[in-house]
Structures are given as C-alpha cells and as structure tokens.
Amino acid sequence: MKRNIAVIGIGYVGLVTGLCLADLGFRVIFTDLDERKVELVLRGLSPIYEPGVQEKLAKHGSAGNIEATTDTVEAVTKSSVSFITVGTNNVDGEIDLSGVKGAAKDIGAGITERNDYHVAVVKSTVIPGTTDELVIPTIEAASGKVEGEDFGVCVNPEFLREGSAIRDFMNPDRIVVGYRDERACRVVEEVFSGIKSIIVKTDLRTAEMIKYANNAFLATKISFINEIANICELFGVDVTQVAYAIGLDFRINPEFLRAGCGFGGSCFPKDLRALISTARKKNYSPVLLEATLKVNDKQPLRMIELAKSVLGELRGRRVAVLGLAFKPETDDMREAPSIKIVQDLLKQGAVVAVHDPKAMERARAIFGENVEYAKSSLDALRGADCCSIVTEWREYAELPLEEAKKTMRVPLLVDGRRVIDPVKAADVGFIYRGIGYGKVIQ
Ligand code: NAD
C-alpha cells in the first residue's frame, strides 16, 4: 500500500514537493486555505507557471495519485507524514509564522484520531528555534500527544530554484534533515530514498539555520558582483570578463556571478530581512547582510540611471520593459526588480510598455492601468525611446535586433541582465548601455 502524505500549502514549493513525492510512488493529499488553488488542482490545472508542473499535475490527477482539499485536519488524519510548505512572508521586516502555526495546529488536530506514529516535516523556511519553540508545542497542545512518542518532527529545508524546481527537487546537492527523534529521521530518509543525494543529518535549529546561511551567501555573492559591476562602469571595464576570470578560481566558482539589476523573488529578500531582524533582536548587528540588501535595493535603479545617461529627463519618453518575472521560466513577480523599475519610470513621467512571456496576469494585479501591456516584445518596442531588458528570458536574448531597432524611436538598449552582445547591438546601430559594461558604445 502506498503511504499517504499530506502537503500543506499549495505554493511553488508545496506543489513541486507533492508532485515529486507522487513521482516517488506516494499518494499525496494537497491542502490549502485558498479554495481557488484547491479547485484548480482538483481540475488538473496548475495555479502557477513552473516547467513540468502542469504535465505532472495532469498525469498524477488522472492516475488518482493526488487529491486536494481545504480540510487539512482530515488530510493529516488520512496520512502518516505531513509536509508543511506554507508561506513564511515578512510583515514589517519580520517573519510571519501564522501560516506555520496554523498548519501545526491542524496537524495536531489531525493526529488526535490516529494511533500510529506521525511525522510532521517543516519544509517552509523558518528562523532557528521555530520548530522547537512553536511547531512542536503547537502540535502537542492541539493533539494532547507527546513529541518523540506519538509523533516526530523534522526540519527539511528546500533549496529548489523556481524555473527548474522539479529538476532541483529530484537532483538536490544534498538533503538536509534536522531531527530530535531518530524515528522521525528514519521516516524522512525512507520518504526520500528514491532520490540519490547526500543526506546531512543534524539537529532542528542547525537545519533551520543552514537554509538562511545558504540564501544569505548566494544573495551576498550577487550583491558583491553587482557592486563590482558598478565600479567596473567607472573604469571603462566590462564586468563579464572580470566575473569569468574570477569564477575560474575554484574558491570562488562561476555560479551567481552574473551582474545585473538585482535579485528578487520570494526568498532572498525576505529571508535576509528575517535573519537580520532576528540577529538584531539578539543584539547582533549583521552589517554584511545589511549591506547585501542595501546594494540590492539600489541596483534596479541603475537601469533608470543608464537610460537617463543617454536620454536625459524621462518625462514623456516611452520606455519598454522586457521581463517582469523575477527570473526566467516562472510567472513569480514577488519582489521582482521590474516592480521598482516600472514604478520609478512612472514616477519620472515616462510612458511604460511592459512585456513578459508568463507574468502578464500577475503584472496587471500590480501595475493596473498605469502601464501598457504589450502582446510581444516587438509590440512593446514600437515607438520606444528605450528598450530595457530586466529578466533574462531566452526570447529577449534572441531579440531580432534589426527589427527591434526599426520599430523604436530612439535605438537605446539598456541591458539589465547582460544577455545581448554589446558589439552586435552596436553593429545594428543601437546605443548600448549595460549593467557593469563600462565601455561606451554609440
Ligand atoms: P507560496 O506563497 O507560493 O505558497 C504558500 C501557500 O501556503 C499559499 O497557497 C497559502 O494559501 C498556503 N497557506 C498558508 N497558510 C496555510 C495554512 N495554515 N494551511 C494551509 N495552507 C496555507 O509559498 P512558496 O513560494 O511555495 O514558499 C513556501 C515556503 O517555502 C516558504 O517558507 C519559502 O520561504 C520556502 N521556499 C520557497 C522557495 C521558492 O522558490 N518559492 C524555495 C525554497 C524555500
């Protein structure tokens, strides 16, 4: 008999986790407070865009390997393992744990009726101490049961990247399992036995901290190269060559050394803020992490400065913004640099036309009627004074430059992701400006 697993929270992580667990042979019961998401999953339709998710949803839906409900308590009662994959957003810079608490309460209520050992797995990113101090006591209070006897809790942070989430989940660099009760750890190891990976076994708080340290390091690496990029511009140097050369040093490595208009998404900014605020509460001032965020806060606005360096004031200028999602292959716009860029352009009086292959619906909810929604990249560029590339979708890297130039009023290209070859752009007649590109090409 297949083990039933409840996955609480149908977001980017929950959906991918559940579908991959179904691939590994489990029966998955998805739960969410959001009826719309549950309804969509029941109809075999993905509430998000993520490569491979729609196909897996349809496949496992018709094979009867998954169900979905808003009743988490019942889903837990029917399962021997529950994954908590709810959001842990910031409220006023601090982590909001109400979703995690709600899920823990439901797990407690769900296991009251069960006589066997249940394992709750905290996959959401939570600050060190949350599982000890919030999740376990909440489950105990709601169930009247005892951790380590009637149920176990593990911390299993997720490292997937949106855009390649399924591949990352199934081929992780390592699986981290924080535990207190050996038995719970063994169950989680068994759940992941179909995935070939190193398992790092540790205590609950260390597992929670590993996730923050991981994200803080990657975010810092991006802000580092962005700062170097800004300095490169001052010296007439191209940051891509610098990044290539330093990336060959095995102590540095080439990943996450692409200069650009900043990082966004649902994790790096919020996790940094949460780590900073908890460190401060313990009277430690994390200056490096604060600087990482500071560099990133300003970086999107480099796009505006580059446009202004050619056009002067932007009032009345028509600017095309290509790319709204925080990265390619997702429709996720949470904390995307595009938001800051568009809002600043509007503040400066520019007329803004936007395009994204997948995020247009989400963009409408953010920008309303204040921008023009183009049907294609060329449509966005019609009559434009500036083409700004904000997300490195492949279609923008392959922009037909001749056609693009013909349709624009001023052939200015501001490359926020360094996806267009500056020399090629100049050959076609573009005025090229790029983040970290210090050479001026007219
Ligand atoms: P999300 O916002 O896309 O989805 C979270 C879902 O949880 C929402 O649908 C929400 O309705 C639901 N939810 C909230 N409280 C609930 C409750 N009590 N019961 C049932 N459902 C509830 O979030 P996400 O991007 O999937 O992230 C989930 C967690 O994973 C976060 O802690 C995040 O930091 C972490 N994480 C995210 C990523 C990523 O790339 N998105 C990667 C690694 C880790």
What is the best residue among 38, 72, 73, 85 to mutate for testing ligand 1's pocket, by most ligand atoms within 8 Å of CB? 85
**Which atom of ligand 1 is the closest one to the Cα of 13?**
26
**Domain range for 178:** 4-202
Looking at 186, 202, 218, the residue that finishes a domain is: 202
pLDDT at 201: 98
Are 160 and 18 contacting, i.e. CB atoms less than 8 angstroms apart?
no
d(CA 141, CA 184): 19
pLDDT at 209: 98
Q: Output the pTM of the full model.
A: 0.95
Statement to judge: residues 245 and 307 lie in one domain: yes
Looking at 143, 169, 202, the residue that finishes a domain is: 202
Statement to judge: residues 396 and 410 lie in one domain: yes
pLDDT at 308: 98
Question: Strand pairing partners for 29?
Answer: 6, 67
pLDDT at 1: 63
pLDDT at 440: 65
Residue-by-residue DSSP string for 231-246: HHHHTT-BHHHHHHHH
Statement to judge: residues 14 and 152 lie in one domain: yes
Statement to judge: residues 285 and 362 lie in one domain: yes
d(CA 190, CA 253): 33
**What region, left, alpha or beta, does residue 323 occupy, with left being phi > 0 and alpha being psi -120 to 50 degrees?**
left
How far is CA 121 from each of CA 201, 321, 377, rounded to the nearest angstrom? Answer: 14, 41, 43
Statement to judge: residues 115 and 34 lie in one domain: yes
Statement to judge: residues 309 and 386 lie in one domain: yes
**Which atom of ligand 1 is the closest one to the Cα of 37?**
9
d(CA 6, CA 73): 10
pLDDT at 281: 95
- Of 12, 8, 104, 97, the C-alpha closest to 49 is 12
Statement to judge: residues 271 and 321 lie in one domain: yes
Q: What CATH code is carried by the domain that includes residue 103?
A: 3.40.50.720
**How many domains are there within the chain?**
2
Statement to judge: residues 274 and 391 lie in one domain: yes
- Given a cut of 70, the residues of the chain with pLDDT beneath it are 1, 440-442
pLDDT at 117: 97
Looking at 202, 231, 248, the residue that finishes a domain is: 202
Report how far ligand 1's centroid is from the alpha carbon of 277 (Å). 20
**144: phi then psi, degrees, rounded to nearest 5:** 70, 10
Report how far ligand 1's centroid is from the alpha carbon of 11 (Å). 5
Q: What is the pLDDT of residues 101-150, one digit of tens each?
A: 999 999 999 999 889 999 999 999 999 999 999 999 999 999 999 999 99
pLDDT at 441: 57
Are 354 and 301 contacting, i.e. CB atoms less than 8 angstroms apart?
no
Report how far ligand 1's centroid is from the alpha carbon of 100 (Å). 9
DSSP label at 34? -
Report how far ligand 1's centroid is from the alpha carbon of 305 (Å). 35
What is the best residue among 168, 266, 273 to mutate for testing ligand 1's pocket, by most ligand atoms within 8 Å of CB? 266
pLDDT at 290: 98
Ligand 1, CB within 6 Å, residue ranges: 8-14, 31-34, 37, 72, 85-88, 99, 102-103, 124-125, 158, 160, 162, 266-267
